[in-house]
Amino acid sequence: MLELKNIKFNYGSRRVLDGLNFFVSTDEFVAIIGPNGAGKSTLLKIIDGLVDPQGEVVLQDKILAEYTRKQLARQVAYLPQDTEFSFAYTVDEVVRMGRYPHVKGIGYYSPADEQVIDRVLTLMEVQDFRERYFNELSGGEKQRVLIASALAQEPKILLLDEPTTALDLHHQIAIYQILQEQQKTKNLTVIIVTHDINLAAQYCNRMVLLYQGRIISDGKPDEVLKFKVLQNTFGVKVYIDINPITNSLYILPYA
């Protein structure tokens, strides 16, 4: 579905991605992990066509640059770390923005569009305050609304940059469960940047560890989460064990 070939990218004189090769198949749930400054967020921006790197990005056997923005928006939805609006939009209006690639005219929403909007509002548990103003919501509520908007886009690939940082524990788990369910039932490929390695290890079927603009390790969570690799990459000692309830790995750093 998606392939990045020999990707290089600089911010000024600083090399952020350095000859990165990356392939994602349909219906994968991929976690991008790594220390700050590793190039994780830049990688998502490149996939969404927001920055232009050296190298080649191929989506559905077509060069990314050949897509119009509307065509690309039908394929890829991207949620950055921070999103604010200058105008006083309601929750309902923010979620409707996600339908833009599919609507046939400005302000016209078909019955099918309305069904999608209602479904994602309910899915993200934000239907009860759809008439409230987005900028008056808590950080966690805003994040759930933005994820609803991205899902309303009905993309083939969903890119999420730290989507659970503002959420309480209940909603962190709920988001991962929803993403996993959408990945399995809606033919959705999910690529998530996260520092929450334990939740990612529990729900993602693939992890990619970035360090200094290069992929250090790529595979199933138990193939990537190794003592020496994590200690060398993050610069801390870690304890790794298996959660007896979920049968997934969990990691604890220690001094």
Report which residue type is found at 42.
T
What DSSP letter does each residue of 165-182 carry, written as one string? TTS-HHHHHHHHHHHHHH
Dist CA 37 CA 69 (whole Å): 28
* pLDDT tens, position by position, 9-21: 999 889 999 999 9
Asked if residue 116 has pLDDT above 90, the reply is: yes
**Which among 154, 184, 209 is the end of a domain?**
154
> What's the first-to-final CA gap in the chain, in angstroms?
41
Question: pLDDT averaged over the chain?
Answer: 93
Asked if residue 86 has pLDDT above 80, the reply is: no
* pLDDT tens, position by position, 157-181: 999 999 998 889 999 999 999 999 9
Domain span at residue 40?
2-75+155-254
Indicate whether 129 and 175 sit together in one domain.
no
Q: What is the pLDDT of residue 103?
A: 87
Indicate whether 213 and 230 sit together in one domain.
yes
CA 92-95-101 angle, 5° bins: 130
Task: Tell me what the mean pLDDT of segment 244-253 comes to.
Answer: 89
Quick one: which H or E segment has residue 184?
helix 169-185
Nearest to 40 by CA among 159, 144, 190: 159
